[in-house]
Amino acid sequence: MSLALRRRRKARLGHVLRVLGPGLVSGASDNDPTTVATVAVVGSTTVYALGWVALLIFPMLAVVQIIAARVGRATGRHLGELVLTRYGSRACTVLVVSVVAVTVITLGADLEAGAAALGLLLGVDLRLLVLPLATVILAMLAFGSYERISRLLEIIALAFLAYVISAFAAHPHWGAVLHGSFVPSWRWNSNYTSGALALLGTTLTSYVYVWETIELSEEEGRRTVPEAQLDAGVGAFVVVAVFWFILVATGATLGVHHHQVQTAQDAARALRPIAGPAATAIFGIGLLGSALLAIPVLMATTGYLVGGRRRWPSGLSHPPRQAGAFYATMTLALAIAVGISYLGVSPIHLLFAASIAGGIGTPVSLVFLLRISRDRATMGRWRTPQALSAAGWVVAVVVTAFGLAALFVG
């Protein structure tokens, strides 16, 4: 291979790596403790039978994330600001409530899961660790710059490799895995209906695509629209690939033995094939990494949406003295989450409930995103193509249908 060709390939690789950023962070934040615990529950109750739902989520998530990337990059504003400008304060209030209500519940679940992970690693009661963990994360957001926070989140995402490796180390029956992933099957019972909704809710959740628009609005045009779309698509692939491997690992180690997940220690058994006695520690590291990645995103999303609705100076690029109300909003959301975590609910059960809530609340904000993306006055020449928009509406209908099914099937 000639030196010139190697240089050209290296330059292309460097360009691709520079393009990847917000979509990867957004996708990685989607693999939060809610996702990890939800997939563990689904794997332990249905084994591989809902693998096809997991794979079906990739094109659905990719469509939504690509649309969000177009909106954020083309307008330079996040979804809350756009809805306020285009549809007024009442519509924006509906958006904020639909997202923030689910986000705060998820924040409480993820905070408790992060404390539980620390408890697994340190052998300490998780209730003693919730407040210190919350304090550290709040300080990170208050005193770190947006660029440093984004870079840190990208590094933390590497913790998910443990789940990918564990799937192979669990030695699953790959024929059954492939059958469950590519041959759809269905049973009308709570395990299947709630499990499918939870998978949809934990990945197609509002804060993920809202955060995509936030990140691109903060970047101030450092990427083109096509680059932003590529980044969003790659991020969607990463999140789906990781939780599919989690499903395989938990199905092979818990589901086949009919051992349903009740605690974080139960879920840790999914890593026992690779780590033996150290399974609990490795699971704790992965769970802690996912919490450290997701909690700042959840807090910041709440701050951006409420701040945008109230027209406050907002953004992680501003120090607290310039955006006091923005940081106060994040602090309040975190305080409520701390209260939720002290309710005494099992972390796994709280995480699973949060994903169900996400599946029910997501359609509201998704409708706003789809309407904005097709608005000519807002999007200009980057108005979402009709075919892509139609695919987005199909996703909204599917998520809504599963949400209604979960309400009527116990």
State CA 264 to chain mean position distance.
19
Between these two residues, 408 and 285, which has the higher pLDDT value? 285
Q: How confident is the model at residue 401 (pLDDT cuts 50, 70, 90)?
A: confident
Token pair listed for 367: 């409708």
The region of weakest confidence among 9-23, 37-51, 209-223 is 9-23
Of 253 and 273, the structure prediction assigns the larger pLDDT to 253
pLDDT band at 176 (very low <50, low <70, confident <90, very high): very high
Check: CB of residue 39 under 8 Å from CB of residue 247. Answer: yes
15 pLDDT tier (thresholds 50, 70, 90): very low
Mean pLDDT in residue range 368-393: 95
Mean pLDDT to the nearest integer, 167-176: 89
Q: Is the pLDDT at 22 greater than 70, yes or no? A: no
- Which of 399, 401, 383, 398 minimizes the C-alpha distance to 67? 383
Which of these ranges, 67-71, 113-117, 180-184, 260-264, has the smallest mean pLDDT? 260-264
Among the residue ranges 1-5, 48-52, 236-240, the one predicted with the least confidence is 1-5
Residue 143 is predicted with a pLDDT of: 83
* pLDDT at residue 20, rounded to an integer: 52
Q: What angle do CA 246, 367, 38 make, to 5 degrees?
A: 20
Given this model, what pLDDT does residue 349 score? 72
Q: What's the length of the chain?
A: 410
Q: What is the pLDDT of residue 394?
A: 95
Q: Helix 146-156 vs helix 130-143: angle between axes, to the nearest 10 degrees?
A: 130
Structure pTM?
0.86
What is the average pLDDT across 374-380?
A: 94
Could you give the percent of the chain with pLDDT greater than 70? 85
Q: What is the per-residue pLDDT across 99-153, written as a single tens digit (0 to 9) for each?
A: 998 888 889 888 988 888 888 888 888 788 899 999 999 998 888 766 777 677 7
Q: What are phi and psi of 175, to 5 degrees?
A: -65, -45
Residue 9, pLDDT > 70, answer no
